[in-house]
Structure formats: structure tokens, C-alpha cells
């Protein structure tokens, strides 16, 4: 069983898409084992996206990610990291496959509705960024 971090980004939360997006994951067999509505201030957004600090979109991305509430969850399942990214689709909604979250609800390459961890190490670090161990339910509970 693998775990990954999912974020429903501010514009998708504002548009009332939490339920629609979560149901994509659940219908694909990913289990929600932790979840909360929270908010990143600019500094926490910069810390979360530290790997992108040198990218031209870093300032804009971290501004955007701190504009409003986000819905963060831990998804668990076989190959959860890759499956989450498959269900989300490509970073740019214009290039995302039909039926993916980003194709259906992404606004543009920055405001693309959802985040998903990209590897086991980043998943572990991103889960720990938002959740303590006792906030995560073990599988089947």
C-alpha cells in the first residue's frame, strides 16, 4: 500500500469542486485516510514549493496557493502516487487527457485544480508537511 498527498487547490475549492474531485479518487479505488480544509500563507506556500524556487512562476504560484482555503488529503492504495497523477492529468489542463481532473476543472497551467506528489520521498515529506501520524487512519479503519 502506497500513500500520496493530494491538494485541491484554491480556485477548485472556491468553485465547490471538493466533492467532485474526491469522488474521482474514490471511484478509482484510492482511499482517503486523512483530510482537512486548511490554508497556506505565502511563507508556507514558499516552503511547500521550495523545489520550484528558481522557476519563473514561483512567486505567482505561491501567491495563488495562498489566496484561499485548500483541501488536503492523504490517498492510499496500490501505486497511489502514479494513479493520483494519472487521474489528475498533465500539469497544463490544455494538454491533459479527456476525463482527467485537470482537463475537466483546471483553469490554466498554474490554476490547475489539484496537486499530487510525484515520488515516494516527496510523498512522505508532503504528507508530513500537513499531517501528524495520529491524523492518518490506517487502511481499512
Total interface residues for ligand IDP by CB under 6 A: 9
Q: Which is nearer to ligand IDP, 2 or 118 (CB)?
A: 118
Query: Which of the stretches 33-41, 74-82, 112-120, 126-134 binds ligand IDP when contact is defined by CB under 6 A?
Result: 112-120
Q: Which of 116, 74, 66, 68 is nearest to 91 (CA)?
A: 116
Q: Which is nearer to Mg ion, 2 or 118 (CB)?
A: 118
Contact 110, 65 (CB under 8 A): no
Q: Which entry of Mg ion, ligand IDP, none binds 5, CB below 5 to 8 A by partner kind?
A: none
Question: Among this protein's residues, is 27 annotated catalytic?
Answer: no
Residue 59 interacts with ligand IDP (CB under 6 A): yes or no: no
CA distances from 73 to 54, 58, 81, 129 (A): 27, 23, 13, 12
Residues that bind Mg ion (CB under 5 A): 118
Shortest Cβ 139–ligand IDP spacing (Å):
25
CA distances from 118 to 44, 66, 68 (A): 19, 21, 24
The order of strands in the sheet holding 70-77 is 31-38, 70-77, 2-8, 114-116
Q: Which entry of ligand IDP, Mg ion, none binds 20, CB below 5 to 8 A by partner kind?
A: none
Beta bridge partners of 71: 8, 37
Q: Which residues are catalytic?
A: 115
Which residues would be at the binding site for ligand IDP (CB under 6 A)? 52, 57, 61, 91, 109-110, 112, 115, 118
Amino acid at each position: 500500500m502506497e500513500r500520496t498527498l493530494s491538494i485541491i487547490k484554491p480556485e477548485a475549492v472556491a468553485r465547490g469542486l471538493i466533492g467532485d474531485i474526491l469522488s474521482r479518487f474514490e471511484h478509482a479505488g484510492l482511499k482517503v485516510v486523512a483530510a482537512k480544509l486548511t490554508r497556506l500563507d505565502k511563507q508556507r506556500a514558499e516552503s511547500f514549493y521550495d523545489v520550484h524556487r528558481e522557476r519563473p512562476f514561483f512567486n505567482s504560484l505561491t501567491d495563488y496557493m495562498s489566496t484561499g482555503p485548500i483541501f488536503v488529503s492523504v490517498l492510499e492504495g496500490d501505486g497511489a502516487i502514479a494513479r493520483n497523477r494519472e487521474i489528475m492529468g498533465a500539469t497544463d489542463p490544455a494538454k491533459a487527457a479527456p476525463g482527467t481532473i485537470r482537463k475537466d476543472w483546471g483553469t490554466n497551467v498554474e490554476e490547475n485544480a489539484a496537486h499530487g506528489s510525484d515520488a515516494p520521498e516527496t510523498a512522505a515529506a508532503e504528507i508530513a508537511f500537513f499531517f501528524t501520524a495520529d491524523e492518518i487512519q490506517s487502511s481499512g479503519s
